[in-house]
Amino acid sequence: MNSLTHKLLYFDIPGRGEAIRILLHAAGIGFTDTRFPSADWKTIKPTTPLGSVPVLTINGTDHVQSLALMRYAAKLGGFYPTDDHPLQALVVDEVMETCSELMSKAPRSRDKEELKRLRQEFQENTMTRYSSFMEGIVAKNKEAMGSSLVVGTTVTVADLSVHGLVRTIANGGWDYVDTEFFNKDYPELMAVSKAVDENDKVLAYYASKK
């Protein structure tokens, strides 16, 4: 795989790009990390296959869909269950998709009062339901394997998905959603986020950026 060239195109934020960057680095794959300011999006958008980023260009071919890209990089870096563990891979996939769906479902509005109302309702209903579901998955794995991780005993791309979600909320990324939402009621998801923060390969990625 190392003979392939990789180029990642994304905004200069973590968002849906950071896990791909971390995982490609963890896989030892050198890649061009092209980041652009949001002001440039209008001109870049029509040049992408589906009007979306991230785009990962491999040997000149553009590839899209952030979960597909994350899964690809995760496999190369050892952050995804191998073929002999299809049930673990299923759980990884369902958590990745659940985090992504939750991100997509966060209500948007230009009206501040309406946004406040919609976001609070979202926190009480969808966020609580989705987060409780994932908390249960981690609790079950902890009981079976002794690790506060989505599956097994080593960090997978699903843990990176949870980490991205937890950090987005804690950093106030969603106005009118309680920044303490996970900290208050989801100890297992917090533990997942901590495990990612302390993972050797994740630490090595950030060290490489200094």
Q: Which listed residue (5, 40, 45, 97) binds a copy of itself by CB under 8 A?
A: 97
**98 versus 147: smaller Cβ distance to a copy of itself:** 98
In three-state secondary structure terms, 29 is coil
Told to check if 76 binds a copy of itself by CB under 8 A, we report: yes
198 binds a copy of itself (CB under 8 A): no
Burial of 163 (0-12, 13-18, 19+ CB in 10 A): buried
Of 90, 144, 145, 203, which lies in the binding site for a copy of itself, with binding defined by CB under 8 A?
90
Question: What is the CB neighbour count within 10 angstroms for residue 96?
Answer: 25
Residue type, 75: K
Q: Figure out which of the listed residues 29, 44, 64, 170 binds a copy of itself, where binding follows CB under 8 A.
A: 64
Spatial distance between the Cα atoms of 2 and 184, rounded to a whole number of angstroms = 44
Q: How far apart are CA 17 and CA 67, in angstroms?
A: 10
- Least separation, in Å, of the C-beta of 185 and a copy of itself? 17
Q: Which residue has the tokens 């597909």?
A: 68
Looking at residues 150 to 169 of the shown chain, list those that interact with a copy of itself (rule: CB under 8 A). Answer: none
Output the CA–CA distances (angstroms, integers) from residue 87 to 90, 92, 143, in the order listed.
Answer: 5, 9, 17
Indicate the helix (H) or strand (E) that contains 55: strand 55-58
Choice from 133, 154, 180, 204 touching a copy of itself (CB under 8 A): 133
Q: Where are the beta strands (DSSP E) in 122-193?
A: none
CB of 41 to a copy of itself, least distance (A): 17
Binding of a copy of itself by 50 (CB under 8 A) = yes
Q: Tell me: does residue 75 bind a copy of itself (CB under 8 A).
A: yes
- Nearer to a copy of itself by Cβ, of 148 and 161: the residue is 161
The stretch near a copy of itself (CB under 8 A) out of 11-19, 127-135, 162-170, 179-187 is 127-135
